[in-house]
Amino acid sequence: MRRRNHYDVTNQVEIARPQAVGDAVCELLAAQYPSIDLAPAQAAFKTFARLYAGTLRGYHGCDTWYHDAQHSLDCALAFARLLQGHERSVVAADQLGARRAMLGVISALFHDAGYIRRGSDQARNGAEFTFSHVGRSGEFLLDFLPTVGFGREAVMASQLVHFTGYELALDAIQVPEPKDRLLGFLLGTADVMAQTADRCYLEKCRDFLYQEFTYCGLAGPATAGAAAPAYSSPEQLLRQTPTFSEKMRQERLDGYFQGVRRYMGAHFDGRDRYSEHIDEHLQRLTRLIERDALDELTLKPKAIRAEEIRALL
């Protein structure tokens, strides 16, 4: 069966639904750590649904398109799979353990919470926080983690999420424990793998990511007195995507993050389904660029924002 737009790389988990992803993630955690207390993850997924739906006090809900609820849910699932692959691949002394695993899942789930507008924010759209959303996500974790028994890790987690962004240089992220740093490598890798393996990744770059970039000045027409935008059109963004992706792979995924993406194959018993989809997307995009045929990208993605999450709850 052809992969559906709102399903994961296995076409089995509906990544637009917090409950479905929460169940899949908890199943992975329970399989890897039989004695783990799943209550913190279950509470996190419930809070996530309220945050993105706009029913959590003090927040407006998700109004961004590319960084929607589905992306963060997809990231949490990818992280749990990558983590399980790691734990299967190393000796017991090198495993990260149940508590770090739980912390990583929660951090993955809320790594883009900073895009959600607070009641006191003056922004028109959460995309205006593109350059500050990771720090804002860390602030959310500082408040949330103590409510589920992870207060002592909250400060570290507020740093951990920076492995998914560019607000801090990677060497400046204050995560002193080697295992916590590895946790950050897994988190940053899961974020990249999830979004680039999405069935509608190319169309989402064109239709959604470009739109978000117009809100923060990265895209759109040049304005007198302001720095020139990086992208003048959705097509230009697409044309630069293969180069950006290759740079990301070399410098981050296989560079600073030490190639931890290899653990995804261990989760799938030798077959890395995420990388298969990623390679397929980028190879197709390269061929379309060469033929000047970007109009052949015809999928119609739907963003899972506040209204869609409220309808699912």
Instruction: Give residue-wise pLDDT tens across range 111-155.
Output: 999 999 999 999 999 999 999 999 999 999 999 999 999 999 999
CA distance linking residue 33 with residue 254, whole number of Å: 28
Instruction: Let me know if residue 234 belongs to a domain.
Output: yes
Least confident stretch, 151-155, 227-231, 299-303:
227-231
pLDDT at 313: 82
Q: What φ, ψ does residue 219 adopt, rounded to 5°?
A: -140, 160
- Decide if pLDDT at 196 tops 90: yes
Is 3 domain-assigned? no
Q: Is residue 69 part of a domain?
A: yes
Distance CA 309, CA 221 (A): 33
Residue 312 pLDDT grade (very low, low, confident, very high; cuts 50, 70, 90): confident
pLDDT of 249 > 90? The answer is: yes
Asked whether residue 210 is assigned to any structural domain, the reply reads yes
Q: Which positions ≥6 away from 132 have C-beta within 8 Å?
A: 114, 167
| Dihedral in degrees, nearest 10, Cα atoms 247, 282, 228, 117 | -100
What pLDDT, on the 0 to 100 scale, is given for residue 224? 64
C-alpha radius of gyration, the chain, whole number: 19
Q: Are 71 and 195 in contact (CB under 8 A)?
A: yes
What per-residue confidence (pLDDT) applies to 227? 74
In the block, tokens 């993955």 appear at: 108
* Integer Cα distance of 148 and 141 in angstroms: 11
Count of structural domains within the chain: 1
In a domain, 41, yes or no: yes
Q: Buried (b) or exposed (e) across 81-98, using 16+ Cβ within 10 A?
A: bbbbbbbeeeeeeebbeb
Could you give the CA distance from residue 274 to residue 260 in angstroms, rounded to a whole number? 13
> Is residue 257 domain-resident?
yes
With CA atoms as reference, report the closest residue to 266 among 35, 122, 84, 7: 84
Segment 263-286 mean pLDDT: 97
Please provide the distance, in angstroms rounded to a whole number, between the alpha carbons at the two ends of the chain.
27
Overall average pLDDT of the 156-172 stretch: 98
User: pLDDT over 90 for what percent of the chain?
Assistant: 95
Contacts 24+ apart (CB under 8 A), 239-242: 239/289, 239/294, 241/202, 241/205, 241/282, 241/285, 242/282, 242/285, 242/286, 242/289
The pLDDT assigned to 186 comes to 98
Distance CA 10, CA 104 (A): 22
CATH number for position 145:
1.10.1300.10
The pTM score is: 0.97
Does the residue 97 lie in any domain? yes
Is 202 inside a domain boundary? yes
> What pLDDT score does 225 carry?
65
Q: List the domain range (segments joined by +) for residue 56.
A: 18-312
pLDDT at 93 over 90: yes
